[in-house]
Structure 1
Amino acid sequence: MHEAFLNLNGVRTKVSTWGRWVEESSEEQDDIVLIITGNPGINGFYNNFAKTIHEKLGYPVWCLGHAGHDLPRESIILPKFKEHQELYGLKEQVQHKADFLEKYIPEKAKIHLVGHSMGSYMILELLDHPALRDKVVDVYLLFPAIEYMAETNNGKFLTNFIKPIVPIIVFLSWIFTFLPNMVQNSLIYAYTTFIMKIHAKEHLTNIKNLIKPGVLRRVFFLAFEDIDHIRERNNEVIKKNVKKIKIYYGRTDGWTPPIFCDRIKRDIPDVDVEITDYHHSFVLSSSMEVGDKVSTWIKEKK
Structure 2
Amino acid sequence: MDSEIKEEIPVHDEYVLCGGAETCVLKCGPWTDLFNDQSASRPKLLIFIIPGNPGLPAFYVPFAKALYSSVNRRFPVWVISHAGHVLAPQDKKILTTSDDPNAQEIKDIYGLRGQIEHKITFLRTHVPKETKLVVIGHSVGSYISLQILKHAPELPLTFYYGAKDAWCPKEYYEDIKKDFPEGDIRLCEKKIPHAFILYSYQEMADMVADWLKDDLSKIETVTEENQD
Category of TM-score, reference length = shorter chain: 0.7 to 0.9
Shift of 1:122: 0.7
CA contact (8 A) 2:107 2:114 kept: no
Of 34, 37, 47, which residue of structure 2 is paired with 1:25?
A: 37
SS in 2 for 1:100: helix
Paired amino acid for 1:63: V
Partner of 1:38: 52
TM-score normalised to structure 1 length: 0.58
Paired amino acid for 1:248: Y
How many corresponding residue pairs? 187
The structure in which a higher percent of residues are helix is 1
**Is residue 12 of structure 1 aligned with residue 22 of structure 2?**
yes
Partner of 1:286: 200
**Is residue 2 of structure 1 aligned with residue 12 of structure 2?**
yes
Partner of 2:138: 116
Paired amino acid for 2:167: W
Shift of 1:75: 6.3
Q: Give the distance between the partners of 1:47 and 1:280, measured in 2 at CA.
A: 16
SS in 1 for 2:204: helix
SS in 2 for 1:53: helix
Aligned pair in 2 of structure 1 residues 254, 22: CA closer, same or farther (>3 Å)? farther
Q: Give the distance between the partners of 1:22 and 1:64, measured in 2 at CA.
A: 15
Q: Give the distance between the partners of 1:52 and 1:103, measured in 2 at CA.
A: 27
Q: Give the distance between the partners of 1:25 and 1:108, measured in 2 at CA.
A: 13
Partner of 1:249: 161
**Is residue 92 of structure 1 aligned with residue 114 of structure 2?**
yes
- The structure that has the greater radius of gyration is 1
Shift of 1:107: 2.4
CA contact (8 A) 2:19 2:121 kept: yes
Partner of 1:269: 181
CA contact (8 A) 2:84 2:110 kept: yes
Partner of 1:51: 65
Of 59, 62, 68, which residue of structure 1 is paired with 2:78?
A: 62
Shift of 1:99: 0.9
Aligned pair in 2 of structure 1 residues 12, 299: CA closer, same or farther (>3 Å)? same
Shift of 1:25: 2.2
1:156-196 per-position Cα deviation (integer Å, ceiling 9, x unaligned) = xxxxxxxxxxxxxxxxxxxxxxxxxxxxxxxxxxxxxxxxx
Q: Percent identity?
A: 34
Aligned pair in 2 of structure 1 residues 92, 284: CA closer, same or farther (>3 Å)? same
Unaligned runs of 5+ in 1: 79-83, 134-239
Q: Give the distance between the partners of 2:186 and 2:180, measured in 1 at CA.
A: 14
TM-score normalised to structure 2 length: 0.75
Superposed structure 1 runs of 4+ greater than 3 Å apart? 26-29
Paired amino acid for 2:24: K
Shift of 1:101: 1.1
Q: Give the distance between the partners of 1:300 and 1:265, measured in 2 at CA.
A: 24
Aligned pair in 2 of structure 1 residues 6, 275: CA closer, same or farther (>3 Å)? same
SS in 2 for 1:99: helix
